[in-house]
C-alpha cells in the first residue's frame, strides 16, 4: 500500500491496534480486530508514517485519526452522501462499509458545522466530539443521553426540541452512537 508493507499479526500487546516501523516501512496491525477497525488502523499508521515535523505529541494521535478518516471518507463525497440521505447513519454505514460507526460520527463533526457526536456503551458516554464552530444549548446533553438510551432499546431514536435535533443508532450489544445538530 503506497510503498508500505502491511503485516497482520496476533502478537500485539493489549490495547495496541497497530504501529509503524520506520526502519522497514512496515505497518503492523492486530489481526484479531474487525475488518473496518483493521482498515482504519492501516490508514492511521499511514498517517503516522507521514507525520509532519512539529506536530505536538499531545495531538499526534488525534491528527492521525482525522487524517485516516479523511483518507477513508473524502470530504466532498462524504458531504454529498450525507446530504443525500439526510444524515441517516444507517444509510451512511451502507455507503461507507469500510468505516466504523464511531469513525462516521467523528467525520460528521469534522465536516458539518453545528454538530456534535458521541458514542455510548450501556448508559455511559465513551467519547464526545464537537465541531469547533458550534455552541450547543445546555439541554443538548440531556437530549443526547435520552435518545442514545432509547436507541439502545429500539435500534434508533430521534428527537427535536428548541433548535436541536438529536438522532441515535444502536451499533451493537449495549452500544450506540448519537449525532446532535443545530437546526433552524
CA distance linking residue 154 with residue 62, whole number of Å: 32
pLDDT at 120: 94
The CATH number of the structural domain formed by 74-182 is: 3.30.450
pLDDT at 136: 80
pLDDT at 2: 63
Q: Among residues 26, 78, 32, which one has the least CA distance to residue 49?
A: 26
pLDDT at 35: 81
Delimit the domains of the chain by residue range: 5-71, 74-182
Query: What's the grid cell of residue 20?
Result: 509503524
Angle (deg, nearest 10), helices 75-84 and 101-111: 100
Q: Is the model's pTM score more than 0.85?
A: no
CATH number for 5-71: choose from 2.40.50.140, 1.10.540.10, 3.40.50.970, 1.10.10.2910.
1.10.10.2910
pLDDT at 163: 84
pLDDT at 18: 84
pLDDT at 1: 53
Q: Are 71 and 43 a contacting pair, CB within 8 Å?
A: yes
pLDDT digits (tens, 9 = 90+) for 38-58: 888 888 889 988 888 888 988
- Using 50 as the pLDDT threshold, list the residues of the chain that sit under it: none
Amino acid at each position: 500500500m503506497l510503498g508500505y508493507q502491511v503485516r497482520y499479526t496476533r502478537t500485539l500487546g493489549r490495547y495496541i491496534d497497530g504501529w509503524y516501523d520506520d526502519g522497514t516501512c512496515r505497518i503492523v496491525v492486530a489481526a484479531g480486530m474487525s475488518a473496518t477497525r483493521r482498515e482504519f488502523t492501516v490508514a492511521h499508521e499511514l498517517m503516522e508514517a507521514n507525520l509532519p515535523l512539529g506536530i505536538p505529541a499531545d495531538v499526534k494521535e488525534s491528527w492521525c485519526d482525522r487524517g485516516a478518516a479523511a483518507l477513508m471518507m473524502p470530504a466532498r463525497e462524504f458531504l454529498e452522501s450525507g446530504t443525500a440521505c439526510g444524515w441517516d447513519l444507517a444509510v451512511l454505514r451502507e455507503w461507507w462499509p469500510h468505516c466504523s460507526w464511531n469513525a462516521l460520527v467523528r467525520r460528521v463533526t469534522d465536516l458539518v458545522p453545528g454538530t456534535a457526536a458521541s458514542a455510548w456503551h450501556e448508559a455511559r458516554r465513551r467519547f464526545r466530539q464537537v465541531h469547533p464552530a458550534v455552541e450547543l444549548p445546555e439541554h443538548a446533553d440531556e437530549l443526547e443521553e435520552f435518545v442514545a438510551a432509547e436507541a439502545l432499546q429500539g435500534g434508533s431514536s430521534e428527537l427535536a426540541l428548541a433548535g436541536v435535533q438529536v438522532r441515535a443508532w444502536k451499533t451493537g450489544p449495549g452500544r450506540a452512537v448519537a449525532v446532535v445538530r443545530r437546526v433552524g
